[in-house]
Amino acid sequence: MPQNHGQVWWTELRTRDVAGALTYYKDVCGWNFEALEMQGILYHVGRRGDRPVVGVADMRALPELDGAPPHWFSYFAVNSLERALEKSAARGGQVIRPPVPIDGLGRIAIVSDPSGAALGLITPE
Q: Are residues 12 and 66 in the same domain?
A: yes
Among 54, 30, 29, smallest CA distance to 43 is for 54
Residue 16 sits in the same domain as residue 59: yes
Q: What is the CATH number of the domain that holds 46?
A: 3.10.180.10
Query: Which domain, by its residues, includes 26?
Result: 1-72
Q: What's the whole-model pTM score?
A: 0.87
| 90 and 55, same domain (yes or no) | no
Over residues 74-110, the pLDDT tens digits come to 999 999 999 999 999 999 999 999 999 988 789 999 9
Residues 13 and 45 in one domain: yes
Same domain? For 67 and 105 the reply is: no
**pLDDT above 70 (res 1):** no
pLDDT in tens, 4-39: 899 999 999 999 999 999 999 999 999 999 999 887
pLDDT tens digit sequence for 43-83:
999 999 999 999 999 999 988 889 999 999 999 999 999 99
Which secondary-structure segment (H or E) carries 119?
strand 118-124
